[in-house]
């Protein structure tokens, strides 16, 4: 899918064919390294996100749609016997370096090329969060680990509680240059 990175039109075409509704955001720069370019807000056609309509790069929108359709909802059905009705997240665009440090590598969040997923709400009223349920030895923990493994198929970098303490309450999903799955 590397081609999609450099081809905004192809990325939007694939999203459209999949029934994912997006709106283009105007390009802009902020500070010395933050940039909104090839960024869309997700408006519909996927499992609803909360807060609604996060701004993500088109490739992240595509990875998200593939993940929620081919990994998240199938895992919810087969492991928990329910549908995911809401995906709770902590955000996508944030103008900062990794871990909010003063120096060092620029975060993929600085270009909206990442999404931090916190948890899920289900059709049976259940809620499952990374913070509370990652270590669960029953079906809810099994569901979360299946969701993480599925994300590794759709995104480049996936970091969760097994990576470090900074990710104890969310799954960081991005389309950056590094292939990491933990
Ligand atoms: Zn993140």
pLDDT at position 98? 87
Calculate how far, in angstroms, residue 112's C-alpha sits from the geometric centre of ligand 1.
10
pLDDT tens-place values along the chain, 182 residues long: 556 778 999 999 999 999 999 999 999 999 889 999 999 999 999 999 999 999 999 999 999 999 999 999 999 999 999 999 999 999 999 998 988 888 888 999 999 999 999 999 999 999 999 999 999 999 999 999 999 999 999 999 999 999 999 999 999 999 999 999 99
pLDDT at position 54? 96
Calculate how far, in angstroms, residue 121's C-alpha sits from the geometric centre of ligand 1.
20
Calculate how far, in angstroms, residue 116's C-alpha sits from the geometric centre of ligand 1.
5
CA distance 108 to 155: 12
Calculate how far, in angstroms, residue 174's C-alpha sits from the geometric centre of ligand 1.
8
Length of the chain: 182
pLDDT at position 3? 65
Query: Phi and psi dihedrals of 117, rounded to 5?
Result: -95, 130
Whether residue 57 contacts residue 111, with contact meaning beta carbons closer than 8 Å, is answered with yes
Element (H or E) spanning 57, and its range?
A: strand 55-57
The torsion of the CA quartet 117, 118, 121, 122, rounded to 10 degrees, works out to 60
Calculate how far, in angstroms, residue 142's C-alpha sits from the geometric centre of ligand 1.
22
pLDDT at position 162? 96
Calculate how far, in angstroms, residue 172's C-alpha sits from the geometric centre of ligand 1.
4
Calculate how far, in angstroms, residue 94's C-alpha sits from the geometric centre of ligand 1.
9
Calculate how far, in angstroms, residue 108's C-alpha sits from the geometric centre of ligand 1.
8
Whether residue 15 contacts residue 23, with contact meaning beta carbons closer than 8 Å, is answered with no
* Chain-centre distance for alpha carbon 142: 19
Calculate how far, in angstroms, residue 115's C-alpha sits from the geometric centre of ligand 1.
6
Say which residues have a Cβ less than 8 Å from residue 47's Cβ, sequence separation at least 6. 68, 72, 73, 84, 85, 86, 87
Q: How far apart are the first and last CA of the chain?
A: 21
CA distance 93 to 84: 24
Residues with CB under 5 A from ligand 1 (ion): 114, 116, 172
Calculate how far, in angstroms, residue 23's C-alpha sits from the geometric centre of ligand 1.
22
Query: What is this structure's pTM?
Result: 0.95
pLDDT at position 84? 98
Where residue 19 falls (left for φ over 0; alpha for ψ -120 to 50; beta otherwise) is left
pLDDT at position 103? 85
Looking at residue 88, the DSSP 8-state letter turns out to be E
Burial label for 26, CB within 10 Å (0-12, 13-18, 19+), is: exposed
CA distance 49 to 35: 23
């Amino acid at each position: 899918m590397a081609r999609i990175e450099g081809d905004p039109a192809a990325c939007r075409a694939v999203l459209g064919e999949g029934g994912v509704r997006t709106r283009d955001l105007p390009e802009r720069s902020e500070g010395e390294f933050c940039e909104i370019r090839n960024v869309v807000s997700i408006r519909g056609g996927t499992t609803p996100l909360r807060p609604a309509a996060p701004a993500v790069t088109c490739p992240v929108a595509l990875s998200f749609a593939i993940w929620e359709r081919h990994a998240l909802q199938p895992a919810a059905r087969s492991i928990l016997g329910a549908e995911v009705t809401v995906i709770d997240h902590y955000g996508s665009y944030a103008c900062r370096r990794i871990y909010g440090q003063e120096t060092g590598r620029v975060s993929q969040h600085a270009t909206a090329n990442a999404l931090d997923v916190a948890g899920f709400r289900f059709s049976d009223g259940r809620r499952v969060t990374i913070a509370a349920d990652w270590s669960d030895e029953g079906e809810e923990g099994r569901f979360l680990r299946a969701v993480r493994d599925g994300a590794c198929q759709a995104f480049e970098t996936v970091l969760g509680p097994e990576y470090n303490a900074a990710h104890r309450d969310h799954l960081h999903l991005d389309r950056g240059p590094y292939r990491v799955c933990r």
